[in-house]
Amino acid sequence: MSGRNTVIRSLHDVGLATWFGGSLMGAVGLNGAAKDQGGSETAVARISSSGWAKWTPVNAAAIGAHLFGGGGLLAVNAHRITGQKGVAASTTAKTAVTAAALAATAYARVLGKKIELASSSDPQDLEKAAQHPIDTAKAARQLVCFQWAVPALTGCLVVLNALHGEQQRPFEQMHGFWEHARSATPLFR
């Protein structure tokens, strides 16, 4: 087996960078520009919803690339996860934060779509919105929270990714494998 995993590592890292950067830019730049240019709450919602809707396919591809790359990294580093002290814990933390980021992203999209339909001028969208009425002010407040939660959570993933990189240094691997072996041997406990 090759010691290099450039393709899966690139998918993992570029996907995460896009997910983090896009969500942060949307929360800061897109939403801020919509507020500056929109005027009424409905106009702000329309502008912001239009931008987020255009971003959704790119974001989905980025998340897919990140998850595919992450799965590949799990497979090629299985020996380190089971044998190097500390790697299983950081991998578990990274998995939990990834799940939270996915949930926050999905819920933000659901809220955004509801607001998009409610603020649309398209009769078909308004009909769909009437079938499932929402409190748009409440949904907008929740959306703001979730749109900030996504870059916070994906930023945590960037930090955990840096930790994984540090754990791959030769000395860290040697020390981690030694500590795992020492703790598994009754004589050295």
Tell me, what's the pLDDT at 162?
92
pLDDT of residue 128: 72
| pLDDT surpasses 70 at 182 | no
Residue appearing with tokens 């290099």: 4
How would you classify residue 169: left for phi > 0, otherwise alpha for psi between -120 and 50, otherwise beta? beta
Q: What average pLDDT does range 165-171 have in this prediction?
A: 70
How confident is the model over 138-167, as pLDDT tens digits?
A: 988 999 999 999 999 999 999 999 987 887
Q: What is the pLDDT of residue 71?
A: 96
pTM beyond cutoff 0.85: no
Q: Which of 62, 165, 52, 158 is nearest to 114 (CA)?
A: 52
Q: What percentage of the chain reaches a pLDDT higher than 90?
A: 53
pLDDT tens-digit readout, 47-74:
998 999 999 999 999 999 999 999 999 9
Q: Is the pLDDT confidence value at 105 over 80?
A: yes
Average pLDDT score over residue span 166-172: 67
- From first CA to last CA, the distance across the chain in angstroms is 34
- In whole angstroms, give the CA distance from residue 58 to residue 35: 23
pLDDT of residue 1: 41
Average pLDDT, the chain: 86
Q: Quick check: 33 pLDDT over 80?
A: yes
Structure confidence at residue 137 as a pLDDT band (50, 70, 90): confident
Burial of 41 (0-12, 13-18, 19+ CB in 10 A): middle
Mean pLDDT (whole number) for 40-44: 86
Report the pLDDT value the prediction gives residue 17, as an integer from 0 to 100. 97
